């Protein structure tokens, strides 16, 4: 799920950047430092949307650097266990399929694919129901439920399932929608 | 519900970044208004909320139970012993056998991996962070086997270097190659070229003649994997050359980082059954556990550096502007063998169930046809002190279906010798038996066909200059960084015993003069008959591969 | 105060404004009631995993901080990110490609929300939020419904099981209310 939240960060800036554009400098440095990072608590910081407040700077003895507490608003993406979301299939193999929801990687193993869907190898590997009506292949859009998450230093991984009511393919790239 | 009146984002109302932030501020206000998450409940006492909570949980728990039962059922089929006894329906016992993990999360129950229990095999070549337990691997193999056989396919594992391609570092290009403009050829914009520059790796790669047709044909009969001791980046680059549209090897490129044992390749990282796996590789040593699945390939040496590395002093194919022939080169030959293996495996006349068939006896059987009906006697090919039955050439002949003997008899068809002067050689001439050089056996082994004997004559004895060359070759081999190459060279050049010594500790053991030569890397001057024979063999084996390659490929220059 | 900064101030140190107590303690007790740890194995697992098991979006257990935070539907994120991307484009048009100025996370997120937005028109997006806000939904529920657009009350409650909590949609009347809500949504889509 995407959230719009306020975070705070202490930014250090060298006095040579001081001047009428101090705030711009802080903001651009903030964007550079923070956007694209991820943490277990907040998930991915997707975009900074605004700076609420820049606090008073404190000079660091010795270095001359000044630390500013900056409050900023940002869009974060954080998947939750039990969350249902839509994702794009990136790879299908006999173990299951991999999908992406934005920056998050999700693996749906064949244990968590309905039993009536069987793996078909070939040029376009896929999972298909016996009557051929439903097919999951690369670029398919699926609705899945997250049952486990793990946050790495730079990535978030999830285990998903489509073995439940109202989960599964919402569009397959082969069919005309 | 005043909340409904709060404006939502609209891009038209903003321009500067701070304006935009203001726009979102309004949304944040809405967020803080919806404090509890249940606006309707505001003002009510805590008790009522809790009541509702319980109601909701009961509903959830019925659903959970259903899922749980399902899990248990599956658990029974996988690991019956794991079911927790006495579990009442109130107890939520998660019985997940944890079949495997994706970045540390069980991909069946979503729980994090127990840090102390890192079992199973990593399958990084399929997806980063993927790890499978042995039960799951077996399960996948079984399922895969069924599918494969249904498609009438087997599994084919392909080595890269010297099997499908030959590569050289740019810095190792010989002056002759440079003069012939080999680098220009590699960067030419020609669809049919077979030599490529891997700029990022500072290398040139030459595709073995016929490789494209080979892959196309083989892909109809096999699910194919690349399995190289090279590193991942290299393997992926080469896979792109061989398979530009990624149809042959999707998630099937295995490199050194995927090996579970140092310097060994194993079928353990392949999700195909051993019983249907055929391996093509030029190095036997790395397949210790799977020799029965292996078809040993004649090494493809195209570049000068490759010849040098393997101790061949002759001009390389690149330097002599030659190449293997497309039509009957190594890959075309082995494709025919693969076709036969496939045909025999799927022979409809055979009664046994497909799933219980095994490709290994098929390989063995086809190999045995090559020299069927030949009865060989070796004359001073092996050192006196060793048991001939343990010699590589003897074993090779037997694998090819020949009967080997130490005694002359009327039933003998071939005498294998390196010296015309031996008693047995003279006997062969007198009795109009074939007198052939050991290379005849090797050639049959690589070409899967009995070779015309007259092409492998035994030459009269010559001066023994060759020995020095071999010593140099061996030295080069053993100082090379690549252990695989060392082993390969020695394997080729010497008997098995000396191979081990040379590789293991390079210590001098006195069984064999040839071995001393290798180990000491100096010319010795033992001229007794037995050693003479061995020495001659050295000469003969000076360059079996290149000799074969050029002899079959000369028309293609 | 100063000392705090001498020690803590650094590129990594950042502090939360929306401070949160440990996640969703209020839900913990009913959860335990449901699973008395009777057997050794079960107890061991539940204690070791307790931190993990608390989180369950289906029961709105997403932690106090996120429960209070503003959720965004994909279509809203699309508007925000596209707007931001345009700004970057305007500023950077002279010197370089805007895609090189945003993180991969930004780019992947933008692709994602563009692909999975049910409503493209900003007015429609606003209406969706307005409409759903009338039904006393939690932010997380609202956005899940807005993203997934279920067709029936059955589907809606399967996807957002927490709808059936807090006495908001009880019994058949509750289902009718959900169906009404979904119908409102589909009308917005229809006239977009």
Structure tokens at B337: 């063998």
Q: How many CB atoms lie within 10 A of CB C17?
A: 15
Tell me which residue of B109, B83, B86 sits closest to B98, measured CA to CA: B109
A95/A149 same-domain check: yes
d(CA B410, CA B432): 11
A88/A40 same-domain check: no
What confidence score (pLDDT) does residue B326 get? 87
Tell me which residue of A111, C89, A129, C145 sits closest to B96, measured CA to CA: A111
Contacts of C31 in chain A (CB under 8 A): none
Quick one: CA torsion of B68, B70, B72, B78, rounded to 10 degrees?
A: -140
- Asked if residue C57 is part of any domain, the answer here is no
In this complex, which of C83, C139, C161 lies closest to B20 when CB atoms are compared?
A: C83
What confidence score (pLDDT) does residue C128 get? 95
- Asked if residue C69 is part of any domain, the answer here is no
Confirm if B517 and B537 have CB atoms less than 8 A apart.
no
C136/C108 same-domain check: no
Number of structural domains in chain A = 2
| Selected residue with higher pLDDT from B503 and A79 | A79
- Does the structure show a pLDDT above 90 at C179? yes
What confidence score (pLDDT) does residue C160 get? 95
Confirm if B492 and B476 have CB atoms less than 8 A apart.
no
- Asked if residue C67 is part of any domain, the answer here is no
Q: How many CB atoms lie within 10 A of CB C53?
A: 19
Containing structural domain, residue C177: 122-190
In this complex, which of A50, A112, A149 lies closest to B17 when CB atoms are compared?
A: A50
A95/A142 same-domain check: yes
Q: Name the pTM for this structure.
A: 0.72
A89/A140 same-domain check: yes
C95/C144 same-domain check: no
| Confidence grade of residue A152 (pLDDT, cut at 50, 70, 90) | confident
Write down which residue in A48, A77, A106 finishes a domain: A77
d(CA A100, CA A16): 43
A164/A142 same-domain check: yes
Write down which residue in A60, A77, A94 finishes a domain: A77
Contacts of A2 in chain B (CB under 8 A): none
Q: Which of residues 34-63 of B touch C (CB under 8 A)?
A: 34-35, 37-41, 48-50, 52-57, 59-61, 63
| Confidence grade of residue A173 (pLDDT, cut at 50, 70, 90) | low
Residue of chain C nearest B46, judged by CA positions: C26
CATH number, domain with residue A33: 3.30.1490.120
Tens digits of residue pLDDT in A82-133: 999 999 999 999 899 999 999 999 999 999 999 999 998 878 899 999 898 8
Q: Which of residues 131-150 of A touch C (CB under 8 A)?
A: 141, 143, 146, 148
What confidence score (pLDDT) does residue B3 get? 40
| Selected residue with higher pLDDT from C96 and B108 | B108
Query: Burial of B356 by CB count in 10 Å (0-12 exposed, 13-18 middle, 19+ buried)?
Result: exposed
d(CA B155, CA B453): 35
C166/C128 same-domain check: yes
What lies within 8 Å, CB to CB, of B178 at 6+ separation is: none
What lies within 8 Å, CB to CB, of A165 at 6+ separation is: C155, C158
Structure tokens at B465: 């200059």
Q: How many CB atoms lie within 10 A of CB C88?
A: 17
| Confidence grade of residue C66 (pLDDT, cut at 50, 70, 90) | very high
Sheet bearing B434-436, strands edge to edge: B403-405, B375-379, B414-417, B434-436
Q: For the residues of B87-152, what is the DSSP string, one character each?
A: --TTS--------EEETTEETTT-PBPPTT---SEE-TTTSTTEEE-HHHHHHHHHHHHHHHHHTT
d(CA B428, CA B70): 75
What lies within 8 Å, CB to CB, of B11 at 6+ separation is: C79, C82, C83, C122
A71/A89 same-domain check: no
Residue of chain A nearest B26, judged by CA positions: A4
Quick one: CA torsion of A125, A129, A135, A138, rounded to 10 degrees?
A: -30
Pick the residue of C29, C166, C169 with the most B CBs within 10 A to test the interface with B by mutation: C166
Write down which residue in A17, A46, A77 finishes a domain: A77
Averaged over successive runs of 10 residues, the pLDDT of chain B (557 residues) comes to 40 41 46 40 40 39 38 38 42 76 93 80 92 93 90 96 95 90 82 88 94 96 96 95 92 92 91 95 94 95 91 84 89 96 90 90 95 93 86 93 91 92 89 93 93 89 49 38 37 38 37 38 38 40 40 38
Find the mean pLDDT for residues C157-166: 91
In this complex, which of C56, C72, C147 lies closest to A81 when CB atoms are compared?
A: C56
> Within an 8 Å CB–CB cutoff, is residue B30 touching chain C?
yes
- Asked if residue C63 is part of any domain, the answer here is no
CATH number, domain with residue A150: 2.40.50.140
DSSP one-letter code for A120: E
A69/A92 same-domain check: no
In this complex, which of C67, C126, C134 lies closest to B8 when CB atoms are compared?
A: C126
CATH number, domain with residue C186: 1.20.1250.40
Long-range residue pairs from B394-399, CB within 8 A, at least 24 positions apart, any chain: B396/B441, B396/B442, B396/B445, B397/B371, B397/B441, B399/B364, B399/B367, B399/B368, B399/B445
Number of structural domains in chain C = 3
A104/A159 same-domain check: yes
Confirm if B108 and B70 have CB atoms less than 8 A apart.
no
How high does pLDDT run on average in chain C?
Answer: 75
A20/A61 same-domain check: yes
Containing structural domain, residue A116: 84-176
B101 backbone dihedrals φ, ψ, rounded to 5°: -135, 150
How far does the CA of residue C115 sit from the closest CA of chain B (Å)? 19
């Amino acid at each position: 799920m995407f959230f719009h939240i306020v975070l705070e960060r202490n930014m250090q800036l060298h006095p040579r950047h001081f001047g009428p554009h101090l705030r711009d400098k802080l903001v651009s440095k903030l964007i550079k430092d923070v956007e694209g990072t991820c943490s277990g608590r907040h998930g991915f910081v997707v975009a900074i949307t605004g700076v609420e407040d820049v606090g008073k700077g404190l000079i660091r003895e010795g270095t001359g650097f000044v630390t500013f507490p900056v409050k900023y608003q940002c869009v974060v993406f954080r998947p939750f266990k039990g969350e249902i979301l839509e994702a794009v299939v990136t790879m299908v193999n006999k173990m299951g399929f991999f999908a992406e929801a934005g920056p998050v990687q999700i693996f749906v193993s064949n244990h968590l694919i309905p039993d009536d869907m069987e793996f078909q190898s070939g040029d376009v590997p896929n999972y298909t129901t016996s009557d051929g009506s439903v097919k999951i292949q690369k670029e398919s859009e699926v609705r899945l439920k997250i049952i486990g998450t793990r946050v790495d230093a730079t990535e978030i991984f999830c285990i998903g399932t489509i073995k439940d009511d109202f989960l599964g393919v919402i569009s397959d790239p082969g069919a005309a929608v | 519900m005043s909340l409904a009146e709060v404006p939502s984002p609209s891009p038209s109302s903003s321009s500067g970044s701070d304006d935009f932030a203001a726009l979102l501020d309004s949304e944040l206000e809405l967020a803080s208004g919806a404090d509890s998450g249940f606006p309707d409940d505001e003002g009510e006492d805590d008790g009522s909320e809790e009541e509702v909570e319980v109601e909701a949980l009961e509903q959830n728990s019925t659903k959970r139970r259903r899922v749980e039962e399902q899990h248990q059922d599956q658990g029974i089929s996988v690991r019956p012993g794991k079911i927790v006894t006495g579990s009442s329906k109130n107890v939520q016992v998660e019985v997940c056998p944890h079949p495997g993990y994706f970045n540390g999360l069980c991909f069946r129950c979503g729980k994090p991996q127990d840090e102390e229990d890192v079992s199973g095999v990593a399958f990084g070549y399929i997806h980063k962070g993927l790890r499978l337990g042995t039960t799951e691997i077996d399960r996948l193999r079984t399922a895969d086997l069924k599918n494969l056989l249904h498609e009438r396919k087997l599994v084919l594992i392909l080595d890269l270097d010297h099997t499908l391609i030959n590569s050289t570092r740019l810095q190792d290009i010989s002056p002759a190659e440079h003069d012939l403009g080999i680098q220009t050829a590699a960067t030419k914009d020609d669809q049919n070229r077979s030599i490529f520059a891997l700029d990022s790796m500072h290398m040139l790669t030459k595709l073995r003649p016929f490789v494209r047709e080979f892959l196309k044909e083989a892909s109809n009969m096999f699910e194919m994997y690349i399995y190289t001791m090279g590193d991942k980046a290299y393997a992926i680059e080469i896979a792109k050359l061989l398979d530009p549209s990624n149809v042959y090897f999707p998630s099937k490129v295995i490199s050194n980082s995927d090996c579970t044992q140092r310097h060994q390749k194993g079928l353990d990282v392949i999700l195909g059954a051993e019983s249907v796996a055929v391996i093509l590789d030029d190095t036997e040593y790395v397949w210790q556990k799977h020799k029965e699945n292996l078809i040993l390939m004649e090494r493809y040496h195209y570049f000068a550096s490759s010849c040098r590395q393997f101790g061949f002093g002759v001009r390389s194919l690149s330097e002599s502007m030659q190449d293997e022939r497309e039509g009957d080169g190594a890959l075309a030959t082995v494709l025919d063998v693969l076709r036969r293996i496939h045909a025999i495996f799927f022979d409809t006349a055979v009664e046994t169930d497909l799933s219980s068939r095994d490709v290994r006896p098929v390989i063995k059987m086809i190999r045995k046809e090559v020299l069927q009906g030949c009865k060989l006697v070796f004359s001073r090919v092996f050192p006196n002190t060793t048991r001939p039955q343990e010699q590589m050439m003897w074993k090779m002949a037997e694998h090819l279906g020949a009967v080997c003997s130490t005694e002359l008899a009327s039933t003998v068809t071939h005498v294998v010798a390196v010296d015309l002067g031996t008693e047995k050689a003279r006997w062969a001439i007198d009795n109009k038996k074939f007198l052939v050089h050991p290379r005849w056996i090797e050639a049959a082994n690589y070409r899967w066909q009995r070779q015309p004997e007259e092409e492998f004559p035994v030459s009269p004895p010559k001066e023994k200059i060759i020995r020095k060359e071999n010593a140099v070759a061996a030295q080069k081999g053993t100082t090379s960084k690549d252990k695989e190459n060392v082993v390969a060279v020695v394997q080729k050049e010497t008997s098995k015993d000396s191979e081990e010594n040379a590789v293991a500790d390079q210590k001098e053991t006195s069984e064999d003069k040839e071995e001393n030569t290798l180990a000491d890397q100096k010319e010795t001057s033992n001229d007794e008959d037995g050693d003479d024979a061995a020495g001659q063999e050295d000469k003969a084996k000076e360059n079996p591969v290149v000799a074969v390659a050029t002899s079959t490929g000369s028309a293609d220059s | 105060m100063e000392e705090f900064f001498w020690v803590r101030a650094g590129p990594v140190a950042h502090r939360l404004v929306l401070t949160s107590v440990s996640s969703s303690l209020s839900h913990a007790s009913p959860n335990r009631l449901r699973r008395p740890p009777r057997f050794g194995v079960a107890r061991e697992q539940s204690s070791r995993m307790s931190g993990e098991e608390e989180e369950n979006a289906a029961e709105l257990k997403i932690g106090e901080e996120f429960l209070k935070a503003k959720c965004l539907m994909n279509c809203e994120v699309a508007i925000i990110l596209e707007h931001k991307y345009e700004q970057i484009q305007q500023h950077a048009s002279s010197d370089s490609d805007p895609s090189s100025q945003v993180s991969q996370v930004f780019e992947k997120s933008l692709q994602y929300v563009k692909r999975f937005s049910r409503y493209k028109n900003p007015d429609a997006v606003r209406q969706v939020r307005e409409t759903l806000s009338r039904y006393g939904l939690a932010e997380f529920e609202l956005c899940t419904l807005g993203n997934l657009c279920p067709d029936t009350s059955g589907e809606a409650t399967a996807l957002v099981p927490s709808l059936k909590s807090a006495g908001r949609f009880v019994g058949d009347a509750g289902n009718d209310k959900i169906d009404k809500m979904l119908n409102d949504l589909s009308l917005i889509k229809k006239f977009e």
